[in-house]
Structure 1
């Protein structure tokens, strides 16, 4: 099908270059096209992940939808997905924004707005990204996935910015006033062809610097076994370090009973470059666990099972010790972090 739609009040988000992030709607004709925008939010009581997706996987093109995960004392654990066809999608190529059914994300000035209506729950959330200069290209730009014919791009739209809003469910109203961020992924190749698992980590120092780490573990025929990178952004929203992970040492691991996967609890990353930089990641408490197959429709479950043997999401509290011998960035600990694993296949 041909997507013909108009986004209300479109605007260019940020200047674009190879080094900057590019988070606009960017549809591709390939079957493996996938774009996702993941918003996270946290305060002393609440963990929240709100995700918008567009993909050509399965029947039709521009299949789209949203997922919402909330953990709060008054709600317990809440997870839902909403699935839509291309005629339900309102978006415009080259612009930021998406409307899927009654759910939408949009940008006005320096603020990003997320609205979700999932039947029994309403979410309204605003992220004030005025301290973020521009999206950061966590992947370093478009990555060539040779020997496969495709590309991958991962961006951090903004991180650890003030966020406020409200959750309403039945007679319960929860006011939100915390911190959050947004990450973006864009690829035109089916992810199961080159990856087994994905991860994204966000952690923050006492000085207000933000460390982001992410990437994927490759399939057996992916060169070098993995692709992962680290970016550090100052408290002024400017990128002060970016590098590719060249070596991963698993120092400790544990068996996650919920998913059945073995996951690292402590790992040491070596970063490419002359500064002899390492990052030691320590994961502690599990703060969220999702079995994807249990929370989607029968039709989508059929297609997911064709390609993804055991799809789970595991979210954990984390901290990172950063150490560089020759770098102007001092040795420091990044705390208050969230480490998210997106497990696809063993």
Structure 2
């Protein structure tokens, strides 16, 4: 299945595919950080931080990237909520900003982003400007996870009327991180948050979306160490959670799966081609087909004999059907 998908992308606007299943949506696009991606009403959208200008750029359906504007020091985050596509970034002033893309009268994406909306940082600490936010949607809430300048992890939410909860609460358990967090939601009503600990081990905690009650402590994943931001995504193809990270020793992107209870985490596997990256990966669910990984290519990444630097690579259907 991956080989067939790769063939499709090889023939579509500007995308470069490989026999290993990795492809670049735009051969001319490079980035300084992890790309964000999402499926929006049947279209695949990628947003990245520009290599050199720190602006946000977006691509849909493997066409060329277009400049959104604004500036950020870190990777963006993106997901679908309330039938709209939400794009979040950490502002250079220590606050959080987001833009929205909606649907037109023909029920297709407008391919136009709204103006930026500002969400103030947690009281007493700005958001760490070099760390990306994490977002995850569940019913009537869009959950926002950030890291403060004090390295603590905070949670807030937007609602379907686009109103903000107006406050932040620290995720309990005293977790601290020097990398961006990651989050996903599950159909049984839980928000799962993961972070890289200051010891390079990875930790997860879940909160009940309905009651707002957290587990209260962080659980260490049995396998894997990373020195970059990890990524998680609920995988509707098999009802489990995919974890992805950059191995602290080799730089190779690795993946595993678990239930909400991390003790059953599978053994890590290297992604096809043993690709390395200077940044952590992204992970997003692809409408029943599995989970898509996105990475920033390393200097002189070898894809079927072609050498690239800082290019964006995607791989479809990890742990798919």
| Bigger Cα Rg | 1
Scaled by the length of structure 2, the TM-score of the pair is 0.34
Determine which structure has the larger strand proportion and give its number. Answer: 1
